[in-house]
């Protein structure tokens, strides 16, 4: 029998060996995210304390959310600090492009914004629509959040992808956001980032 003719027989064997390992990893990821959702501290610690673990940034297959998104939505500062200390990516995005800072903003939690900022989270990462945490804070008319995100480096002149408006623009359009507008207007303008244009031949 030639070497080539044995190849089709080997493929199912390779798949049979590889599948349990993949399934085991998927199962471990599921267990970890479920433990975080249930705030099962013992289970979370047991998983993250395993030598060489890299599961802290695993994401749900459907929603794309990681542990850091779950605790940000829950407003859990203790868990957030722990996950960041264990190597959680503060800029991890879910399926909709939301970062933990965006979710903390949606929850109206300026404390979490501060924790993420201290972990070098990028305050200017927009979601799938280009909406930044600062734009969302202005839309919420939340002065404390706006202040916290500006302190974290939020750019009031970065525009979204839908209306092409910035946090400064939204504040100017909202007659009930005068205090927020004053705060933003007192913030120095940031130079727009250069965008490479097409090369001329």
CATH code of the region 25-98: 1.25.40.20
**Is the pTM higher than 0.85?**
no
* Per-residue pLDDT, 20: 52
Has residue 21 got a pLDDT over 70?
no
Delimiting residues of CATH 1.25.40.20 domain(s) in the chain: 25-98, 123-189
**87's torsion region: left (phi>0), alpha (psi -120 to 50) or beta?**
left
Average pLDDT rounded to a whole number, residues 75-104: 97
Superfamily of domain 123-189: Ankyrin repeat-containing domain (1.25.40.20)
What are the two backbone dihedrals, phi and then psi, of residue 12, each rounded to the nearest 5 degrees?
A: -60, -35
Average pLDDT rounded to a whole number, residues 193-199: 40
Average pLDDT rounded to a whole number, residues 9-15: 44
**66's torsion region: left (phi>0), alpha (psi -120 to 50) or beta?**
beta
Express each pLDDT in 96-117 by its tens digit.
999 999 999 999 999 999 999 9
* Per-residue pLDDT, 188: 73
Has residue 67 got a pLDDT over 70?
yes
* Per-residue pLDDT, 130: 96
Express each pLDDT in 117-149 by its tens digit.
999 999 999 999 999 999 999 999 999 999 999
Q: What does the H/E/C string look like for 115-154?
A: HHHHCCCCCCCCCCCCCCHHHHHHHCCCHHHHHHHHHCCC
Has residue 5 got a pLDDT over 60?
no
């Amino acid at each position: 029998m030639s070497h080539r003719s044995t190849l089709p027989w080997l493929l199912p064997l390779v798949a049979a060996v590889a599948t349990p390992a993949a399934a085991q990893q998927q199962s471990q990821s599921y267990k970890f995210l479920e433990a975080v959702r249930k705030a099962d501290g013992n289970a979370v610690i047991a998983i993250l304390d395993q030598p060489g673990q890299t599961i802290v940034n695993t994401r749900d297959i459907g929603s794309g959310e990681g542990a850091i998104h779950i605790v940000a939505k829950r407003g859990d500062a203790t868990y957030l600090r722990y996950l960041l200390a264990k190597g959680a990516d503060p800029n991890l995005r879910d399926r909709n492009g939301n970062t933990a800072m965006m979710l903390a903003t949606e929850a109206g939690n300026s404390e979490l914004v501060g924790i993420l900022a201290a972990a070098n989270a990028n305050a200017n990462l927009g979601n799938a629509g280009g909406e930044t945490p600062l734009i969302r804070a202005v839309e919420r008319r939340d002065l404390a959040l706006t202040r916290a995100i500006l302190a974290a480096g939020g750019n009031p002149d970065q525009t979204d992808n839908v209306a092409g408006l910035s946090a400064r623009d939204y504040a100017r359009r909202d007659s009930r956001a005068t205090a927020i507008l004053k705060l933003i207007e007192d913030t120095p303008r940031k130079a727009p980032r250069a965008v490479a244009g097409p090369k001329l031949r």
